[in-house]
Amino acid sequence: MRVPLARALSKLGICSRADATARILAGRVAIGGIVIRDPGHPVVPERDRITVDGSSARRKAWRLLLLNKTRGTVTTRRDPEGRPTVFDLLGDEGRGLVAVGRLDLATSGLLLLTTDTQLAHRLTDPASAVVRRYVVTVRGSLSDAEAERMVTGIDDLRADSVRVRKRSARETHLIVELREGRNREIRRLCGAVGHEVTALKRVAFAGLELGDLPPGRWRSVSKDELERALGAAAPAPSR
Catalytic positions, written as ranges: 104
Q: Are 150 and 197 in contact (CB under 8 A)?
A: no
Longest dimension (CA), the chain: 68
The tally of CA atoms less than 13 A away on the side-chain side of residue 223 is 10
> Which amino acid, residue 65?
L
Task: Report the SS3 class of residue 23.
Answer: helix
What's the CA gap between 36 and 143, in Å, rounded? 60
Output b/e per residue, 189-204; b: 16+ Cβ within 10 A.
bbeebebebeebbbbb
Task: Report the SS3 class of residue 209.
Answer: strand
